[in-house]
Amino acid sequence: MNALELTVSNGVATLRINRPEKRNAMTLAMWRRLAVLAGEVAADDAVRVVVVTGGPDFCAGADIGEFGQVRGDPARGREYDGVVEEAEQALTRLPKPTIAAVRGYCVGGGCEIALACDIRVAAADARFAITPAKVGLVYSLTGVQRLVDTVGSAWAKQMLFTGSQVDASTAERIGLVNEVVPADQVAARAFSLSDSIKRGARTSVTGSKVLIERLLRSRASPPGADTDALYDKAYSGVDYAEGVAAFLENRPPSFE
């Protein structure tokens, strides 16, 4: 069983995160495969729309259990972040519209995947959180930029500073998701939207996506040495070590 599965039917590609025993937490290998699958979808002219989903949880974020091996110091941390960035950008820059169909937990890297999609449909039981403050990390610059573009700076600060969960109704109110529907209707609504998109002119839809992404990128700040220093400080700091240890030991962290 692949932890990431890609199927194509009637012009719609379904990318399913399928690691339910870990709440669909993403390993480094899964991030790499996500970029590869996005490339395959981009190259498939038969695909008009992409639906990203997972169940019973969308994605609980990165697999912290492997952080000691793949994200244990600044050098490996930067390499890991580069892989995640490549996957997120592969989704963001897909020339086809993307829809995230979210059920259950959508946390950390899961939010990054959902935010990389063009449209987000959430189940009434969905829960969203961005939790770097709970493990002593600094969220990626592109992730912060896309969050601010989506919900505004005030809510971006609240989510990043507290790491607290946001329920589906609040997520809809602040613009984090487009629609909230009953849990058993999430997939149906995502594919209904896909059908509506497929009925439109491909040139128009693609052109609109390109222009919107161009406008968003024109406002983004490029990373620099000062940004890299923030990440290096986090990876080499005691808070990160404590945050990972606390997660693995299933206890609250005790930060300095």
Domain layout of the chain by residue ranges: 4-183
CATH class of 4-183: alpha beta
pLDDT value at residue 235: 82
Contacts of 212 by beta carbon, 8 Å cutoff, 6+ apart:
none
β-pairing, 105-107 vs 127-129, is: parallel
Mean pLDDT of the chain: 93
- pLDDT average, residue stretch 173-190: 97
Digit-coded pLDDT (tens) for 202-246:
999 999 999 998 888 777 666 666 777 877 888 888 888 888 888
Characterize 39-70 residue by residue with b for buried, 16 or more Cβ atoms within 10 angstroms of its Cβ, and e for exposed. eebbeeeebbbbbbbbbebbbbbbbbebbeeb
- pLDDT average, residue stretch 170-193: 98
Q: Distance of CA 113 to CAs 58, 60, 128, 232, Å? A: 10, 11, 12, 23
Digit-coded pLDDT (tens) for 19-68:
999 999 999 999 999 999 999 999 999 999 999 999 899 999 999 999 98
pLDDT value at residue 161: 97
- With tokens 């052109």, the residue in question is 207
Digit-coded pLDDT (tens) for 61-94:
999 999 989 988 889 999 999 999 999 999 999 9
